[in-house]
Structure 1
Amino acid sequence: MVTDLKAFVAISIPSMFLFGMRHALDVDHITAIDNLVRMHNARKSARWVGTGFSAGHMISILSEMLLIIYIVGSTTSGKLDQISFSGGVTGAIALATIGAINIYSMKRWGKTGSAILASKIVTRTHILRPVGSAFVTGLVFGIGFDTATQISALTLSVVASATLGVQVALMLAGFFALGLIPVDTLDSVVLRSAFSRMFNTKGFTYLSYALSGVALIIAAFESYAVITNVKIVPPLTGPVLAIIIIAGAFGYGFATRKRRVVDQSISPRQHNHDADFNEDPNR
């Protein structure tokens, strides 16, 4: 019993921590934090919106976990497999829908669908400041079976063991949060830094298009994988593509900012030269 518990802790705790980090790198998380940073105009306080978003998101997931534990605590393994399959399909369809809506919204209104939803939340919670608004946004965005399913299978397997119980499942959720929140915070810090260099440039729009496009493509592959049980792309394809896009945004923002500084330093000299050239020599 004690040996089994030690083995379980040694394996499950690091796994849940890494799983939380992996979940924070999902394209939908990066896109949502991208929207929040842009909505707060990339000012300094926006660097912590990832912390608020992931905290609200985690509370929403935890609530769903407890609800699932309560509802299906006595469910057979066959039904659990069916629930897991349905949840995977639902999550993939939701991600594909969000990606398609975001691209259409960018084309029609100049901002993503999730940004429109976030703007509705932020305008109603502006008194809470950026982090508080992000917390509420994460809470709302977390109300979906797709996010809860990613850890509910592990939680249900723990709760199904008579020797461990709900307390251990909650402990695992805590380690999941320890992996999730720091990486989401890093997302907002990185995005804020990139956006502060790209503010009021076309790169703003291009980055949102790119992230939404990646979300749509990954969702299509994930839907196929869930339905056919055949993996087409490696597990980290989405996060890697998102990181490449953000790195490209950094490069674009740095180059744009450097060119702007050079132009500003040249303009006064050019202005003085033109003034000297046009000055009347007889005066």
Structure 2
Amino acid sequence: MTRAYGTMLPHVLTLSGIAIIGVFLVIVSLRETAPSVAWGLALTAVLLGARHAFDADHIAAIDNVTRRLSAKGTPAGTVGFWFSLGHSSVVVVTGVFVAFGAGLARDLVLAEDSAARFGLGLWGLSFATFVVAVFGIVNLVSLIGLLRRKDDEAGSAPDGPLTIAFARLLRAVDRPRRMFPIGVLFGLGFDTAATIGLMIAAGTTAAGSSAALALSLPLLFAVGMAVCDTADSLFMSNLYGWASRGRNRFRRYNIVITGLSVVVAGLVVIAGVVEVGAETETFALPEVDTSYLGIVATALFALIAVAAALTVRRVRGARSVEASVIA
């Protein structure tokens, strides 16, 4: 555990550096912007980033990839960091273009019915659905192994036709930093970038078109998102590691955690398929609302962690009593 947190130091320093630059730009903007406006927009950007980290596709992608890497014995605590860094890079680049008045970027942000905006949105949605589906199916196979009491196999990555079918993607994401390009491709869906772009366009207009403030907003958005995404993968990595131990009690937790990850992934995939059908007008199915799915899933994982901590405490207490009786 200590070693896992120790390896986080470079990532913490990176996020701290981005945050410092963002805050410095806000301070610079105070020369031409009212403090209430500048700090209000800055706080809003951070909160928007944090909220976006709890979107169901983020939770499903990060948790399911973390589960697979943990099962292979690969330290997975930084999966969320690399994913959010890739995702937010699209936001930052778009924000810079919008801040400096690049015509194409502003058109993509402001014109919701443009062909380019539609194409990017459809791409991001389809790619996110595919990635979540692949890792969700892989973890479903692991869950089936757990339910069949194959303890030695439950923590390992499944082999066979499934691995062959998705081999390219599974090989591509074999360590946390490989989530960076996945995050970039998620970000090309452009909805997130458009949100922060609209905020920059509206906010800087109200604030007197401060370039420093405009540049700070995507950076602070990225920090809010990255902190929450990183915390998610670090938490899930430790929880999976604890639950994958061989004893029966831990095995039951492993089933619950893996099952919940698979269910979340399944709901995200269903919602994605339904939305793709609606966007392309190829088929119409009842809409699946996943607005709060990520928050609900996080809360359930937190409850599982509390139950796990109480279990460990009870086991240690029982052993202590037993040892005193023997003595």
Bin for the TM-score computed over the shorter chain: 0.5 to 0.7
In 1: Cα distance, 2:310 partner to 2:169 partner: 30
Task: Please give the alpha-carbon distance, in whole angstroms, between the structure 2 residues aligned to 1:220 and 1:12.
Answer: 35
Alignment check: 8 A CA contact 2:33 2:210 kept: no
Cα distance in structure 1, aligned partners of 2:244 and 2:132: 23
**Residue matched to 2:56:** 27
Correspondent of 1:243 among 290, 298, 309:
298
1:37 aligns with 2:92: no
Distance, in Å, in 2 between the alignment partners of 1:140 and 1:74 is 20
Query: Over residues 230-269 of structure 1, what are the superposed CA-to-partner deviations in whole Å (9 max), with x where a residue is unaligned?
Result: x99695x2232221342355367669989999xxxxxxxx
1:173 shift after superposition: 1.2
Going from structure 1 to structure 2, the CA distance change for 1:252 and 1:92 (only over 3 Å counts) comes to farther
Deviation at 1:16, TM superposition (A): 0.6
Query: Gapped runs of 5+ residues in structure 2?
Result: 1-29, 143-156, 246-253, 280-286, 317-327
Structure 1 regions of 5+ residues with no counterpart?
A: 262-283
CA RMSD, Structure 1 to Structure 2 (Å): 4.8
More helix by share: 1
Larger Rg: 1
Range that drifts further, 166-175 or 19-28 = 166-175
Deviation at 1:14, TM superposition (A): 0.8
Counterpart for residue 143 of structure 1: 188
Equivalent position to 1:5, from 31, 34, 44: 34
SS of alignment partner, residue 46 of structure 1: coil
Residue 71 (structure 1) shift = 3.4
Residue 218 of structure 1, CA deviation: 5.9
What TM-score, normalized by structure 2, do the two folds share? Answer: 0.57
Distance in structure 2 (CA, Å) of the matches to 1:46 and 1:234:
25
**Distance change >3 Å, CA 250–CA 145, structure 1 → 2:** same
Q: Superposition pairs for residues 90-101 of structure 1, below 5 Å?
A: none
- Give the Cα–Cα distance (whole angstroms) in 2 for the partners of residues 161 and 188 of structure 1: 37
TM-score (norm 1): 0.64
| Structure 1 residues 172-211: aligned runs within 5 Å | 172-199=217-244, 201-203=254-256, 205-211=258-264
Aligned: 1:47 with 2:102: no
Mapping of residues 1-283 of structure 1, within 5 Å: 5-41=34-70, 45-67=75-97, 70-72=102-104, 75=107, 80-82=111-113, 86=118, 119-123=170-174, 130=176, 132-158=177-203, 163-199=208-244, 201-203=254-256, 205-216=258-269, 237-247=292-302, 249-250=304-305
Q: CA deviation at 1:24?
A: 1.2
Give a deviation string over 1:177-214, Cα, whole Å, max 9, x none. Answer: 22112111210121012101232754464133222134
